[in-house]
Amino acid sequence: MSTDCPFLSDVLLLGDGELSFERAVTVEAHLAVCPSCAATEELLFRVESVALREADLGAIDAALARLDDPVVETGWTPWLVAACALLALGFFAPRPVPTREPAVARGGSDTVEVAAHEDQAQETARVATEPGGTDRFALPPPHRRRIDVQELLAGETSVELVAAQVRGGGLAASASLVSLLASDDDRVRQRALEVARRADDAVVVEGLVERVTTVGDRGAWDVLADLSARGTESALGLGLDDERRAAALAALERVGTTEARDEVVAHARSATATEFAHALETLRRLDPRTALRVLVEQDQDPEWRPVIVGVVRSDPEHWLPALHEAVRRGDVLVARAACEVLAAHGDTRSTDALADAVARRGLRDAALAALVELGGESAWRIAARQVARRPALATHFDGAEAAGGALARGVETWSDVPLATLIELLGRCGGEESFAALDRLIASGLQSSALPTALARAGGEDAVARLVDLLDQPRLGPAAVEALGVLPVGRVVPELLRRFDDDRRSRIHEALVRIAGQDLGRERADWTAWWNDRG
Amino acid sequence: MNEGARPVDHETTLVGRAQGGDASAFASLVRGVGPALERFALRLLGDPHEAQDVTQDAILEAWRGIGGFRGEARFGTWLHRILLSRSYDRLRRRRPTTELSDALADDLAHDGDGPAREASAREFEELVRSRIDRLPPTQRATLLLRLDQGLSYQEIAYVLGSTRNAVRMNLVAARKRLAEELRPHVDLGGGGA
C-alpha cells in the first residue's frame, strides 16, 4: 500500500458516506486512476464484509429478568434500608412457640398460612390478623364454596388466600373468579386480576383470554403476558383455535402494550404460514420497525420465502418503502437481509435503494447481488459499472454468475463501458450466459485478443472446441494458445503439437509447460514423445 | 442519524414510560438494540463471558440511570456509551495476552518461499477478526460502531465522549493498520498495486 498517496485518508473514509459530495466525487475519480488506492479500498471492502457476526449471549434476557430486583431499581437505597429493618425486626421479634400447624408465610399486616402440602392447603388455609393471631378462621374445602367478594376486597392477604383456593382445584372458585374478571366494579375486577396472576389456573387463563378477545381488556392481557413469561408458551399458543387466535391478535392490537407487541413477535416466529401473515400484519400496525425485522429474519429460511412473497405482495405500498429505508439506513445485518428480500420481491423502485446501498461498506455484496437478481436494464447497468470498477468483485461475490448474465445482456449496447473491460469481466464472472455472449462476439468476427482468455475462464472445458477453432486465426490464434494453456485439459495437447512451428513455437511451448507441469524444451519431438508415452 | 419520524416517536414514548418506572417499556427499548449491543460487547472484549457480564451491567446501569436520559442521542446510542465505559474498565484490568490467531497469520505468511499464501475464506475471516481484536480499544470501538451499528461520526463521538474529528482519525488509523496487516493474504485480482 502506498502510504504517500495524499488521497489515502479519504479513500479509507469513502464508504462511510461522510465526505462532502465534491470530495467524494474527487476520491471516486482518483480510485479509477490509482491502483494502489483502489486495491486498498477493495481490500477494506472485503475486510469489513467479514468483520461482523451474530452473537447471542443471553445477556439481554438475563439483565431484563433482574430489573425487578430491588437493588437494581432506581433509588434502591430506601429499599435496602427497609429490607435491613425488616430483617432486624424479624431477628429480634419474639418467636412463636412451635406448633403442629402448617408453615406460615408472612406478608404485610396479614399472615397467610400455607400448608406444607397442597392437599393440606386446600383444607387448612387460614387467616390471622396480626399481632397475635387471635382472629383466626378456617376455610372450608375450595370445591364447596365460591369466592366471597367482600372477602376478596378485604386486603392483600385475601388475594393470596383466594389464589390458593383457586390453585387448589376448586372449579367453583375458578368459575366464580372468571365471572369476577368481568365485574363492573373496577375494584373487584382489579382484585380478581391479582388473584388470576397468582393462581395460574387453566380455567382462569381461559377466562383471561376471553376478556382479551372480547373486550380487549388490557389488564387481562398484562396478566396473560406475565403468566406466559413465567411459563414456556406464548399466550397466543394457549390452545386457541384459528378464529379465537385471530380475535386475540386483534385484541392485542387494541391493547397496544410492549408486552402485547412482544407476544405477537413470539407468535409470529413460531406460527404457521397463515398465522405468520396475520401476526405480521398486526405487528406492522403495532410497531413497523419490529415487523420489518421479523419479516427479513424469516426470509433467511428458504422454506419461508414463498410466504414472504405473499406478505410483501399483499401490501407493497407499505413493505417496499420500509425495505428501501432499511437497506439505506438500517443496521447492517438487517440491511443485508432486506437486500435479499428486495432481490426476490422488489420492484423498479428498489433499484435506487439498492444502488444507494452499494455505496454502504459492508453491504456492497448483498446490494449488488440483489440488483443483479432483481434485474432490469437500470439494475444491471449499475451492477455492471460496479463490477467494471472493481474487477475483483466478479470473482468474489456470490452473484458473480448472475452479474455475468447482466453484462452479457449489456455487452452489445453499453457504449459507456469499454468493450475490452466487459469482455474481461464476462470471463471473470463465468456462467452460461457469459459464455454464450462471448461466443456470440467471436462469431460476429470481433478481433479482440481478450476474447479467447475470457472464453476459457467463462467456459472451462466447454471452451476447448471453440478455442481450437481459433488457433489458426492470425489475430486471435496466439491468444487462443495462451488460453488453452490455462485450461488443464490434456486433449488440447495434440492440437498444440500439430501447430508447434516456428511462428508459434514460443507461445505453444509456454502452454505445454503449463499443461505438463514440466519443461521438456522447445523441440516438438520431445513433447510428442512425452505425449505418446502417456498413452 | 436520519430516521423516520415514526420509530423516533415510538422510542420517545417508550423512554417516557421507562422513566416513569415502566420496566416493560424499558425492556422493549433494550430488546430493540439487544443483538447489536451483544455483538458490540463480544467484538470489543473478545470473551463471551466478559461480554455477557458487561452487557448485563450496562443494561442494569441504564435502568438505574434512565431518569437522567435527556434524549440527547438515541436510546441505543446512549446504551452503547454506557457499555463502552464498562468495557473500558474491563480492558484496563486485563493483562496482555498472546493471540492464538498469530499462529494462523504466521502460517499464512511463511508457507513456502514465495509471497504469503492467499488465505481461504474461513482463514481470512478468522484473520480479519483477530486483527480487529488487536486494534487499540478506541480504534476497535470506533470501527465496530461504524461497521456494525452504522452510527454516524457524530453519534460515535457521543458514544466515545470524543469529537467528530477524533472519530475520523481513529477510523483512518484502524483501517490503515488493517489494510497493511491483511494485504499479504488477499488476492485483489487485477486491481492490486
3-class SS of residue A127: strand
Record: contact B56-A63, CB cut-off 8 A: yes
Enumerate residues 6+ apart whose C-beta is below 8 A from A468: A480, A484, A492, A495
Residue among A387, A398, A383, A399 at smallest CA distance from A423: A387
Record: contact B52-A59, CB cut-off 8 A: yes
3-class SS of residue A497: helix
The gap between the terminal CA atoms of chain B, to the nearest Å, is 36
pLDDT in the model for residue A447: 82
Residue A96 confidence (pLDDT) above 80: no
Enumerate residues 6+ apart whose C-beta is below 8 A from A342: A320, A323, A324, A327, A350, A353, A354, A370, A374
pLDDT one-digit tens code per residue, A445-462: 888 888 898 888 888 888
Record: contact A57-B63, CB cut-off 8 A: no
pLDDT in the model for residue A423: 81
pLDDT in the model for residue A369: 79
pLDDT in the model for residue A127: 30
Quick one: pLDDT band at residue A87, thresholds 50, 70, 90?
A: very low
pLDDT one-digit tens code per residue, A468-509: 888 888 888 888 888 887 776 777 888 888 888 767 788 888
Smallest Cβ–Cβ distance between B192 and the set A35, A63, A257 belongs to: A35
* One-letter identity of residue A366: A
Minimal Cα distance from B6: which residue of A? A288
Classify residue A63 by burial, with Cβ atoms within 10 Å: 0-12, 13-18, 19+. buried
Residue A64 contacts B, CB cutoff 8 Å: yes
Smallest Cβ–Cβ distance between B63 and the set A2, A67, A257 belongs to: A67
pTM above 0.90, yes or no: no
Quick one: pLDDT band at residue A71, thresholds 50, 70, 90?
A: very low
Residue A99 confidence (pLDDT) above 60: no
Residue among A143, A144, A162, A142 at smallest CA distance from A152: A162
Smallest Cβ–Cβ distance between A43 and the set B35, B153, B182 belongs to: B182
- With pLDDT > 90 as the criterion, what percentage of chain A qualifies? 0
In a mutational test of the B interface, the residue from A31, A33, A57 whose CB has the highest number of chain B CBs within 10 Å is A57
Quick one: pLDDT band at residue B71, thresholds 50, 70, 90?
A: confident
**Stretch (H or E) spanning A113:** strand A110-113
Quick one: pLDDT band at residue A244, thresholds 50, 70, 90?
A: low
Enumerate residues 6+ apart whose C-beta is below 8 A from B151: B1, B77, B80, B145, B159
Record: contact A392-B4, CB cut-off 8 A: no
pLDDT one-digit tens code per residue, A305-335: 788 888 888 888 888 888 898 888 877 778 8
For chain A, what is the mean pLDDT? 71
Instruction: Compute the CA torsion angle A136, A139, A151, A212 (nearest 10 deg).
Output: 140
**Per-position b or e across A81-107, b if 16+ CB within 10 A of its CB:** eeeeeeeeeeeeeeeeeeeeebeeeee
Quick one: pLDDT band at residue A393, thresholds 50, 70, 90?
A: low
pLDDT one-digit tens code per residue, A180-198: 888 888 888 888 888 888 8
Minimal Cα distance from B67: which residue of A? A74
Task: For helices B75-93 and B23-45, give the axis angle rounded to 10 degrees.
Answer: 40
Residue B97 confidence (pLDDT) above 60: no
What residues of A are in contact with residue B37 (Cβ under 8 Å)?
A: 60
DSSP state of A140: P
pLDDT in the model for residue A143: 37
